[in-house]
Amino acid sequence: MANNNDKKVLNVPALRFPEFTEEWQGEQLHEIAELSKGIGISKEQLSENGTPCILYGELYTKYKSEIISKIISKTDIEKSKLKHSKQNDVIIPCSGETAIDIAVARCVPFDNVLLGGDMNVIRLHKYDGAFMAYQLNGKRKTDIAKLAQGVSVVHLYGENLKSIKTYNPSLQEQQKIVKLLSMLDERLEVQNKIIEKYESLIQAICDTLIEAEQHKVELSFNDFGEPYSGLSGKSAEDFGEGCQYITYMNVYQNQIIDTTDVGLVKINETEQQSVVSYGDILFTLSSETPNEVGMGAVYLGDTYPLYLNSFCFGVRIIDESKIFPPFLAYYISTKSFRKAVFPLAQGSTRFNLQKSDFMKKMFLFPKVEKQNKIYTTLKAYSDKLSIEKRIAKLLCEQKSFLLRQLFI
């Protein structure tokens, strides 16, 4: 590939395929696309059969790469008045936890997929949708984040997206860039499947070991811990620089918090915000479905000014004679624990977990000596899982490098 680092022409990327030499064109989104919104489809309206559909929350949890290769959900509701996709559409959520998280673009390479509410739809006139999704997730991500509005929940409106400045080469160059990046995404997808298999194995072993334990004690989290809240009083403008905080997805996706995957938030010296410490158990407070509320992970990193996002809460262990904190990383994802937490979720369109109800809920735990043994057994598998996650992280870093270098 050609390197343009030393060239004085501004409208070309730092890294480029050598057969392309023309400057890229700077264009606002409204000049190259029609912007609209999806139309509401709730989780309760999903079905096993029906028309393929995408809900905005799935852009965070289900679709990890810029090009959606397979539609996961279906609905059998009346579709004549709903928003239908056109092959090459680009979709971005309208709502999210933080400004930087909301800047998530995905390309829909299929016609007639139903696009749910709370979703911006970008219908390009002539450019490649996958190229635009990669550009919006890379060089334009910060520009999009600056447009988000709100405090506890941030919103991104299509009217504001119209002004986003994009830089675009010929369609042929766009397609060649997409081909390169999509090959990397395919390798990353394979790696993620390896990770999922390890996680399923660890979960199955954990469930078996705990269920086989004969001598258990009944405890509530109040019996050995104290709850604390995540960040409060923050607006979209506070995120993107400053002190480190643990994101919602870090808690949602992991058993043990990934200490390298953190966000940044401004914290004033006068603020009274809770700090995460070693051994703390962190839980999600809200989600679109009741079965995703109360997902948890344990923090086993160093103690320093590290904060927790506002959609989660933490529990600090104050009595380690009853609980071995690292063991909870596995226990809180067992089938029995998840089954017990499920009824605590309250809501209709969005479900929330009341900390007070959760803290007094009784659970059956192995004795602390057995907790240590179970943790030791599972850690051997977790260490192998960590290696696979490091490989995935390196692939993500390679992709991030290319997103910076291949675009203006």
Write out pLDDT tens, residues 112-164. Answer: 999 999 999 999 999 999 999 999 999 999 899 888 888 767 889 889 899 99
Question: Residues near 352 by Cβ (< 8 Å), separated by ≥ 6?
Answer: 285, 286, 293, 345, 346
The confidence score (pLDDT) of residue 5 equals 59
Q: Minimal CA–CA distance to 239: which of 165, 332, 154, 163?
A: 154
R_g of the chain, CA atoms, integer Å: 23
* Res 80 pLDDT > 80: yes
CATH code 3.90.220.20 region(s) in the chain = 25-168, 216-366
Q: Report the run of H or E that residue 212 belongs to, with start and end.
A: helix 171-212
Q: What is the DSSP letter of 292?
A: G
Using 50, 70 and 90 to split pLDDT, how confident is the model at 1? Answer: low
For 31-41, the pLDDT digits (tens) are 999 999 999 88
**Half-sphere CA count of 386, side-chain side, radius 13 A:** 12
Using 50, 70 and 90 to split pLDDT, how confident is the model at 8? Answer: low
The confidence score (pLDDT) of residue 85 equals 97
**Range of lowest pLDDT (45-49, 182-186, 237-241, 371-375):** 237-241
CB 403 within 8 A of CB 8: no
- Pseudo-torsion of CA 77, 81, 82, 86, nearest 10°? 130
Q: Minimal CA–CA distance to 274: which of 209, 228, 341, 319?
A: 228
The confidence score (pLDDT) of residue 218 equals 95
The confidence score (pLDDT) of residue 2 equals 60
The confidence score (pLDDT) of residue 353 equals 92
CB 15 within 8 A of CB 405: yes
**Half-sphere CA count of 293, side-chain side, radius 13 A:** 22
Q: What is the mean pLDDT of the chain?
A: 92
Residue whose structure tokens are 């067992």:
334
Say how many C-beta atoms besides its own lie within 10 A of residue 275's C-beta.
16
Q: Three-state SS for 298?
A: strand
The confidence score (pLDDT) of residue 308 equals 97
* Res 288 pLDDT > 80: no
Using 50, 70 and 90 to split pLDDT, how confident is the model at 49? Answer: very high
How would DSSP label each residue in 163-176? T-EEEE--HHHHHH
For the structural domain made of 25-168, what CATH number should be given?
Answer: 3.90.220.20
| Rounded CA separation 356/218 (Å) | 18
State the CATH class of domain 216-366. alpha beta
Question: Residues near 65 by Cβ (< 8 Å), separated by ≥ 6?
Answer: 182, 185, 188, 189
* Encoded amino acid at 43, one letter: K
How would DSSP label each residue in 223-269? GTEEEEE---S--GGGEEEEEEEE-HHHHHH-SB--TT-EEEE---T
Token pair of 95 as six digits = 């709502």
| Rounded CA separation 386/230 (Å) | 27
* Res 98 pLDDT > 90: no
Q: Average pLDDT of 5-14?
A: 72
CB 153 within 8 A of CB 97: yes
Enter the pTM of the model: 0.78
| Rounded CA separation 93/133 (Å) | 13
Q: Three-state SS for 177?
A: helix
Token pair of 382 as six digits = 């977790």
CA distances from 50 to 68, 70, 131, 291, 325 (A): 19, 15, 30, 23, 45
* Res 291 pLDDT > 90: no
* Res 292 pLDDT > 90: no
Token pair of 33 as six digits = 């696309």
| Rounded CA separation 379/373 (Å) | 10
The confidence score (pLDDT) of residue 13 equals 95
Percent of the chain with pLDDT over 70: 97
| Rounded CA separation 1/402 (Å) | 12
Q: Average pLDDT of 337-358?
A: 89
Q: Average pLDDT of 2-24?
A: 80
CA distances from 4 to 11, 384, 397, 408 (A): 10, 40, 21, 11
3-state secondary structure 316-346: EECCCCCCCHHHHHHHCCCHHHHHHHHHHEE
The pairing of beta strand 307-308 with beta strand 296-298? unpaired
